[in-house]
Amino acid sequence: MRRQLVDAGVHVPVLTKEPALLQGVEAVYPPQAERAGLEAVVVLTVTLGADGSVTEAAVAQPVGNGFDEAAVEAMKQYRFSPAEVDGVPAPIQMLYQVRFVLAVPDAGVTDAGSEMAVPRATLKGTLVARGSRTRVPNGTVQCVDQPDAGEALSDDKGTFSLRVFAGHCKSVAQASGFETFNAEETLASDETTEVIYYLIPKASGFETVVRAKRDRKEVVRRTLERQELQKVPGSFGDPVRVIQNFPGVARAPFLLGQLIVRGASPAQTLTYMDGVEIPLLFHLGAGPSVVNGEFLDKVDFFPGGFGSRYGRAVGGVVDVTTRQGASDTYHGVAKVDVQDSSLFFEMPITEGVSIAAAARRSYVDAILPLVLPKDPEGGTLLILPTYWDYQVRLDAGGPKGKPSRNNYSLMAFGSDDLLKVVATGGGRNRDVSLDVHTRFHRLVGNGVFRRGKSTYKITPYLGYDNATFAFGTTQLIADTYAVGLRADYTYEANKWFTLRLGTDSRWDHIAGKAELPVFSGTQYVAFPGAQPAVEQQHLERQLNAVDAALYLETDFKIGKLTVTPGIRGSFAHVHGQRRWAADPRLWAQLEITEWTQLKGSVGLYTQPPAAVNLEPAPFGTPSLVHEKAFQTSLGVVQKLTDNINVDLTGYYNRRFDNVVQPGPRTVNEDGSVTVERYSNDGLGRAYGLELMVRHEVTEHFFGWLSYTFNRSEERRAGTDDPYVLTAFDQTHILTLVGSYRIGKGWEVGARFRYVTGNPKTPLSHDYDLYQADSNRFSAQFGDFRSSRVKPFHQLDLRVDKSFVFKLWTLTVFLDIQNVYNAHNVEASIFDYRFRQEFEVPGVPFLPVLGLKGSF
Amino acid sequence: MQRSRFIAWVTVAFLTGCVGSQDDLSQVFDLRVLGMALSPPESMAPDCNPRNPASLVALNASITLSTLIADPKGEGRPLEYTLRTCVRQDDRICGNEGQFIELSRGTLDAGVSVLPPFSLGPLKLPAPVSDGGSGFLLEETRAVSTFGGLGGLRVPLVLNVSAGDERIYAQKLMVFNCPIVPGMKQNENPALQGIRLDGEPWPENGLRTLTGSKGIFELDDFAGLEEQYVVPSFELQPIALKEAWKVAWHTTMGRFGPTETSGVDQGGQASRHKTTWTPGANPKEGPVTFWFVVRDGRGGESWTSRSGYYVP
């Protein structure tokens, strides 16, 4: 089970020990089928009690001819060792195969009574998943032509040992989630024959399924599992981009990775990795996410109404959860596409200790010079976008399948983005040198301790961020050193009361240096026209920022109603200034039936101003306070089938004290002017309806329909201006995603999107408006954002073909953006006199080919 | 997220490289106002005491507006014009009822024109613009100024030129200043020195024949003429600046690339005053006029022109 043991502090039950077969009972072969020479495999959905007994067995895939009834009857007599969830025995549900194979009489074994006289042999071996080298535990091996010889069960390492009669053996190996493996062996008398059986995996959905219910407190919490993470068309195999296909998220222009959630600005949605905030999610804003997709266990997305454990955000939250390394043997994945290559490796070090590591490096910087036009006059043009990232994780605790009360992990990860542009000499009128560099590193420890009804989780971390911007002689460098601690405690007193409390605190030391020209407009009154030559000014700042939060939540379960009140209090100390915030929140969930739930939430959310924005005027505004949002939502979740559920949620968010520019300008009595950069005058409101119809990952299919009806508006306080649409208000956002596993290694997927066009301000030209001082024209516009660009629609396709070899698997994938080359519009530009409007086209037909090898 | 905005900007800039109009600032094929120069470009009072008689003289000084207007297809038609002044810079046409004063009207010809001189100091609006205001143009301009007049009172002058169905409102700012910090002095209009085409000097009255697919235009060095000047910071501290003249290049045939050349950008990176003229697709033999307009970045402006003959 490659799963995190906890989910970002909010406790999620995890299967820590798989059930092992203790006693199997041979099913009675249906006489009619036997006479007809029929064989079959019956797949059963088996429910195990906490003691390992079979409490229910139902046919998942009927085959008829009496096999189904016989399999169910036999299964009811099976006994397993208890499965454990979070280290304690618990009931689970799983899929199990019962195979009916006609025995072939063996000439050498004619009489059971002569068994003692027949020489014996030993068949030893290992069950290995074909294509990945994963060891297969709990698989059965038997010689079906020796029905009296019994069967062997593979252990955690996939090894088995079967004592049979010497001679011919028609061996059959079976394991849940794998195709039945058949082999013919000739076993020498009194000798041991060693074999390796490479079992062909079925689709990932066809495996033991943990049905333990998650503790879902939030009204909307969308979780992406690994299967979905990498196969969504149009996402280039990038797990985090898949979030952009969920309800509540506006479509970002081009291929940008911005998350515009329920009308909030991208900066108001925070991203966490294993509960620790990271400054950016995508390389170079539009590239892949900063964490290798193979490292991800799951991605949780909260479009709003998230728990008190999360804070410092008035929009949504994304929490990326990484996974621990494999505990059976070593594995790896190598991926190559047009822009970068990545490697992932995982292995056990010793019993209970595993390591996983990944690295990625782009090579766009090596390809671009080959395609950029050469300057005939001998100038130099360099455009060098480069990025790399790494992740290393060390885990200690219970080995696979064995319970452990405590788990520890240490993870280091980081990212580095560089965009360098140099254009010099030749026929150029101006030499240009631009250097934008962003990097971050995190070292995160994690300890989970379980004692009876209590679970403690402690996550200390260190961080280093660096941002450098250099344009000619202008240079800005900002280094941020962070120390943080998250500590969470959960006490599950009984079935009706659970307590969660914790702290989320960090201290940042920010050291900034800048070589800047004196800013016109910021430090003196600008005149329209040419930029004067100015002397550089040297600025240096050192500042410490503390942001400490405590939170408390309790679950009260009264019958079918669960009520969760919570509060998060925070204290910030920046630039010698103190800011307090208290965010009360309340969730309620009513289980009307086992298949229908009602959920609602109401709460206050605050986001502190960035420390650098509290700089004295003219670079900041010292009086800035927290941005705030009052979020409400009400939803219903209806399970239609085992695999299909519908989630309908309405929301209304009111945002206030939003930070906006420009700030107030005050003319003082002595004639000087105080120009503050920001103010808290931003107001916003967003309301809408989100629908998600989701088909879970099954053997052949996963997919969803996502529809959002949204309205997001903003205005500035202290003015008579009415509310206007936000820049990314999109009334209708429809996304259809589906991926189908055809078989023989083929998988095809499609994504279709239809989105209302973004608001724009219509152009209205009656005459030219010329400003002689700046030699520029002004535009005449209609009402602000009173029209829209045309609707966006696009179909993306993805085809994967896997070639499974004994020890590794090669996957070739083709991801095609905009299959029918829709002429979408991303923005409008104008001619220099603002007489005509021109459309900036979106992404055209864009195929991307990639290779992925895993072992 | 600043970085994301930057990346978005780069993306849009990259993608818009192949989108949009082929028309640009350098191509003159219809009615255009190419330049407006004031003499003087700035009025600097001897001190900041408005009751000082010498300051009043500066405020009431006579001002002359010269215009450079191109109308290549007009065949010499007369151009109707009005010149107005008002108090708000964002009133691009000086059209707010009761908040403008008409300075002159009449007709003028394409080319260089000098409009009747005027004085702004004594002018009074039909009605006060600000609460309790006097109605005097300069006082009302100060009253509505975001910065209380810091950086100079910038009085908009709007020239409305029309012919046929073409109409242009061109705004020019007249700056009234006083030495609020030491070192401030009155601005002077910039003046270009010599023009060179393909490395050869091109005197003002010399007719040149242009051939081939391009011509390299350069300016004689004028770095020594760019004035050093002082402006007050928002905290009333002196900030020393130096003009970095920006030159706009215009032509009646083909285009210039770049259309403007200037001294420094925000990164302090210098630009050469060098540009390339191309005659365009399928050029025909004929006369071509070039205008070169220089701006000093604080209201000063002048121009020069050259006439040539193109032979493909």
Instruction: Residue A566: name the closest of A597, A604, A598, A607 by CA.
Output: A604
Residue type, B123: L
For residue A327, the model assigns a pLDDT of: 79
Mean pLDDT, to the nearest integer, of A19-44?
Answer: 78
Mean pLDDT, to the nearest integer, of A339-353?
Answer: 91
Q: Please check the confidence at residue A214 and state whether its pLDDT lies above 60.
A: no
**Contact (Cβ atoms closer than 8 angstroms) between residue B253 and residue B279:** yes
The residue whose two tokens read 């520029």 is A776
Candidate from A482-486, A556-560, A743-747 with smallest mean pLDDT:
A743-747
For residue B1, the model assigns a pLDDT of: 39
> Is A692 contained in some domain?
yes
> Is A341 contained in some domain?
yes
Instruction: Residue B248: name the closest of B278, B218, B292 by CA.
Output: B292
Q: Pick from A207, A238, A270: which residue ends a domain?
A: A207
Residue A14: pLDDT band with limits 50, 70, 90 = low
> Is A257 contained in some domain?
no
Kindly provide the ipTM of the predicted complex, given to two decimals.
Answer: 0.95
Q: Please check the confidence at residue A657 and state whether its pLDDT lies above 80.
A: yes
For residue A225, the model assigns a pLDDT of: 61
For residue A198, the model assigns a pLDDT of: 87
Positive or negative, the Cα torsion across B47, B49, B55, B58?
positive
Taking phi over 0 as left and psi of -120 to 50 as alpha, with beta for the rest, A274 belongs to left
For residue A111, the model assigns a pLDDT of: 42
> Is A69 contained in some domain?
yes
- Residue-wise pLDDT tens digits, B152-179: 999 999 999 999 999 999 999 999 999 9
For residue B34, the model assigns a pLDDT of: 98
* Among A274-288, A548-562, B270-284, the range of highest mean pLDDT: A548-562
Whether residue A686 sits in one domain with residue A759: yes
Best A768, A777, A831, A837 member to test B by mutation, with max B CBs in 10 Å, is A768
Report angle CA A792, A689, A286 to the nearest 5 degrees.
40
Element holding B4 (H helix, E strand): helix B2-15
B173 to chain A nearest CA, in Å?
Answer: 7
> Is A217 contained in some domain?
no
Best B3, B89, B157, B214 member to test A by mutation, with max A CBs in 10 Å, is B3
Candidate from A160-174, A392-406, A597-611 with smallest mean pLDDT:
A392-406
For residue B183, the model assigns a pLDDT of: 94
Whether residue A182 sits in one domain with residue A151: yes
Q: Give A-chain residues touching B303 at CB under 8 angstroms.
A: none
Positive or negative, the Cα torsion across A663, A664, A667, A672?
negative
Q: Please check the confidence at residue A708 and state whether its pLDDT lies above 50.
A: yes
For residue A226, the model assigns a pLDDT of: 61
Mean pLDDT, to the nearest integer, of B245-259?
Answer: 95
Cβ neighbours for A389, distance < 8 A, ≥ 6 positions apart? A283, A290, A291, A292, A359, A360, A413, A414, A415, A416
- Residue-wise pLDDT tens digits, A421-438: 888 877 777 788 899 999
Q: Give A-chain residues touching B274 at CB under 8 angstroms.
A: 429
**Contact (Cβ atoms closer than 8 angstroms) between residue A790 and residue A757:** yes
Best A371, A440, A525 member to test B by mutation, with max B CBs in 10 Å, is A525
B15/A518 touch (CB, cutoff 8 Å), yes or no: no
For residue A15, the model assigns a pLDDT of: 63
Whether residue A737 sits in one domain with residue A689: yes
Q: Please check the confidence at residue A401 and state whether its pLDDT lies above 60.
A: no
Whether residue A3 sits in one domain with residue A124: no
B234/A429 touch (CB, cutoff 8 Å), yes or no: no
> Is A711 contained in some domain?
yes
Number of domains in chain A: 3
- Residue-wise pLDDT tens digits, B197-246: 999 999 988 889 999 999 999 999 998 999 999 999 999 999 999 999 99
Average of per-residue pLDDT values in chain B: 91
Q: Please check the confidence at residue A321 and state whether its pLDDT lies above 90.
A: no
Q: Pick from A166, A192, A207: which residue ends a domain?
A: A207
Q: Give B-chain residues touching A436 at CB under 8 angstroms.
A: 3, 6
Candidate from A436-440, A695-699, A742-746 with smallest mean pLDDT:
A695-699
- Where residue A362 sits, what CATH number does that domain have? 2.40.170.20
Mean pLDDT, to the nearest integer, of A300-317?
Answer: 91
A769/B169 touch (CB, cutoff 8 Å), yes or no: yes
> Is A87 contained in some domain?
yes
A260 to chain B nearest CA, in Å?
Answer: 12
Q: Please check the confidence at residue A831 and state whether its pLDDT lies above 70.
A: yes
For residue A106, the model assigns a pLDDT of: 45
Q: How far apart are CA A574 and CA A307, in angstroms?
A: 25
Distances (CA, A) of B174 to A638, A776, B85, B140: 70, 17, 10, 15
Mean pLDDT, to the nearest integer, of A816-840?
Answer: 93
Smallest Cβ distance to B236: which of A265, A433, A670? A670
Q: Please check the confidence at residue B139 and state whether its pLDDT lies above 60.
A: yes
Whether residue A758 sits in one domain with residue A829: yes
Q: Please check the confidence at residue A686 and state whether its pLDDT lies above 70.
A: yes
Instruction: Residue B70: name the closest of B38, B108, B127 by CA.
Output: B108
Mean pLDDT, to the nearest integer, of B45-70?
Answer: 90
Candidate from A374-388, A702-716, B53-67, B99-113 with smallest mean pLDDT:
A374-388
Q: Please check the confidence at residue A705 and state whether its pLDDT lies above 90.
A: yes
- Where residue A188 sits, what CATH number does that domain have? 2.60.40.1120
- Residue-wise pLDDT tens digits, A273-293: 888 989 888 898 878 889 888
Q: Give A-chain residues touching B172 at CB under 8 angstroms.
A: 772-773
For residue A202, the model assigns a pLDDT of: 72
Whether residue A524 sits in one domain with residue A603: yes
Q: Pick from A102, A126, A153: which residue ends a domain?
A: A102
- Residue-wise pLDDT tens digits, A244-255: 888 999 988 877
Q: Please check the confidence at residue A117 and state whether its pLDDT lies above 90.
A: no
Candidate from A364-368, A469-473, A612-616, A751-755 with smallest mean pLDDT:
A364-368
Whether residue A819 sits in one domain with residue A758: yes
Whether residue A601 sits in one domain with residue A644: yes
Mind giving me the DSSP string for A7-29?
BTTB----EEE---EEE--PPPP
For residue A217, the model assigns a pLDDT of: 53
A791: domain range? 322-854
Higher model confidence: residue B185 or residue A150?
B185
B272/A529 touch (CB, cutoff 8 Å), yes or no: no
A524/B151 touch (CB, cutoff 8 Å), yes or no: yes
Mean pLDDT, to the nearest integer, of B12-37?
Answer: 79
Q: Give A-chain residues touching B189 at CB under 8 angstroms.
A: none
Higher model confidence: residue A195 or residue A652?
A652
Structure-token pair, residue B168: 């242009």
A829/B271 touch (CB, cutoff 8 Å), yes or no: no
For residue A219, the model assigns a pLDDT of: 60
Mind giving me the DSSP string for A78-134?
-EEPPPEETTEE--EEEEEEEEE-PPPPPTT---GGGGGGS-EEEEEEEEEETTT--
Mean pLDDT, to the nearest integer, of B142-146?
Answer: 92
For residue B35, how far is the Cα from the chain centroid? 5
Size of interface A-B (CB pairs under 8 A): 226
Distances (CA, A) of A625 to A265, A606, A657: 17, 10, 7
For residue A367, the model assigns a pLDDT of: 84
**Contact (Cβ atoms closer than 8 angstroms) between residue A399 and residue A327:** yes
Smallest Cβ distance to A769: which of B11, B92, B151? B92
Mean pLDDT, to the nearest integer, of A656-680?
Answer: 93
For residue A21, the model assigns a pLDDT of: 74
Taking phi over 0 as left and psi of -120 to 50 as alpha, with beta for the rest, A623 belongs to alpha
Report angle CA B145, B147, B149 to the nearest 5 degrees.
65
Whether residue A742 sits in one domain with residue A642: yes
Whether residue A474 sits in one domain with residue A369: yes
- Residue-wise pLDDT tens digits, B123-132: 999 999 999 9
For residue A576, the model assigns a pLDDT of: 83
Q: Give B-chain residues touching A427 at CB under 8 angstroms.
A: 276
A839 to chain B nearest CA, in Å?
Answer: 7
For residue A819, the model assigns a pLDDT of: 96
Mean pLDDT, to the nearest integer, of A104-110?
Answer: 44
Relative to beta strand A787-788, strand A497-517 is: unpaired
> Is A329 contained in some domain?
yes
Whether residue A450 sits in one domain with residue A576: yes
Smallest Cβ distance to A523: which of B35, B239, B301? B239
Whether residue A89 sits in one domain with residue A123: no
A284/B173 touch (CB, cutoff 8 Å), yes or no: no
Q: Please check the confidence at residue A465 and state whether its pLDDT lies above 80.
A: yes
Domains in chain B, please, with CATH?
24-180 (2.60.40.3880), 181-312 (2.60.40.10)
Positive or negative, the Cα torsion across A370, A371, A375, A381?
negative
